[in-house]
Amino acid sequence: MASRSKASLSEESIEKLEETSVQFELLERKVLEAVKESGEAGILQKELWKRLSLDSRRGLRIIRKLEEQGLILREQVILHGRKTYIVRPALKLKKEVIIPDFLDEVPCFYCPSLAKCASGEVDFHNCPTLKRWLANE
Instruction: Tell whether 34 and 85 lie within a shared domain.
Output: yes
Strands 72-79 and 43-44: unpaired
Instruction: Tell whether 124 and 62 lie within a shared domain.
Output: no
- Quick one: pLDDT at residue 126? 87
Q: Is residue 27 situated within a structural domain?
A: yes
Task: Name the domain count of the chain.
Answer: 2
pTM above 0.75, yes or no: no
CA atoms of 3 and 91, how far apart (whole Å): 47
Q: Positive or negative, the Cα torsion across 17, 22, 24, 29?
A: positive
CATH code, 75: 1.10.10.10
Q: Is residue 76 situated within a structural domain?
A: yes
Written as tens digits, the pLDDT of the chain (137 aa) is: 444 444 455 666 555 656 567 787 888 899 999 999 999 899 999 999 999 998 888 899 999 999 998 899 999 999 899 999 999 998 765 566 777 887 778 888 788 888 888 777 888 888 888 888 889 86
Domain extent, residue 77, equals: 10-89
Q: Is residue 55 situated within a structural domain?
A: yes
Nearest 10 degrees: CA dihedral of 63, 68, 70, 73? Answer: 40
- Quick one: pLDDT at residue 1? 44
